[in-house]
Structure formats: C-alpha cells, structure tokens
C-alpha cells in the first residue's frame, strides 16, 4: 500500500482546508486510514481515522466539531475537511493505513504517506 497526502497550505485562522490521501494497492480498501499531525517541537499525534468501509470514524477531542473525515472508496481517497482552523492546528499532516480497527496509536499503522504542511496564520 502506498499513500499520497496533499491539500496542505497557508490559511488564516478561522479558515478551512481539505486534505486528501490517495491510496494505491489492491488491498487499500481493506485498511483503516488515519490522519496524524506533528506540530513543530511536538510528538506526532492522532487526529482522526475512518474504517475500511467508511462506516465508522473516530477523532481526537481537540478537533471534534471542526473536522470531518470521509472516504471515497471508488477513488481510493480519504478526505480530511478542517474548518475553523486555529494557529495550534499548524503541523505536518500525515495519512496512514492500518489493519487495526480505527487505530489511534502510531505503532499500529503499517503504511505512511509523506506528509503535507498546514500553516495557520493569526
């Protein structure tokens, strides 16, 4: 499985961005896809994940109500819609894939994309 993340950029606080993660490999549709982020000087942290069939999701508390994760199975793509962005959302965002059901720990993810930078200005 290979993952390609995109959609990052510079946005003002209060704005929105949509990140995309395109997966390749014939088994991609069997994997939970998660989004993580690493802010400057901090550890990589979990943001949100969606099940292989798109039917279940889980998100970290600090982003609940501001983000929506979705999955287009036909296009092998997972989107992370982020609204009401805050300066503390500034980070490199990574998508990853795991067989673990809605995993939230980095250690359970087997495949990682290259990351896309989100910068939120005040």
In angstroms, what CA-CA distances link 9 with 16, 68, 90, 116, 119? Answer: 10, 18, 10, 8, 6
Is residue 26 over pLDDT 80?
Answer: no
Rounded Cα gap, residues 24 and 40, in angstroms: 29
Q: Which residues are 44's β-sheet partners?
A: 38
Helix (H, G, I), strand (E, B) or coil at 42: coil
52-111 residue pLDDT tens: 999 999 999 999 999 999 999 999 999 999 999 999 999 999 999 999 898 999 999 999
Residues 102, 69 contacting (CB under 8 angstroms)? no
Tell which residue, 9, 59, 64, 16, has the closest CA to residue 35. Answer: 59
């Amino acid at each position: 499985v290979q993952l390609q993340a995109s959609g990052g950029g510079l946005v003002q606080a209060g704005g929105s961005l949509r990140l995309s993660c395109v997966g390749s490999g014939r088994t991609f549709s069997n994997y939970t896809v998660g989004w993580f982020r690493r802010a400057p000087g901090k550890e990589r942290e979990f943001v949100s994940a969606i099940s292989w069939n798109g039917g279940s999701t889980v998100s970290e508390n600090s982003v609940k109500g501001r983000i929506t994760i979705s999955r287009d199975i036909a296009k092998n793509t997972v989107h992370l819609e982020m609204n009401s962005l805050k300066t503390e959302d500034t980070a490199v965002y990574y998508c990853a894939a795991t067989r673990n059901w809605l995993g939230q720990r980095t250690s359970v993810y087997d495949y990682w994309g290259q990351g896309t930078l989100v910068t939120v200005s005040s």
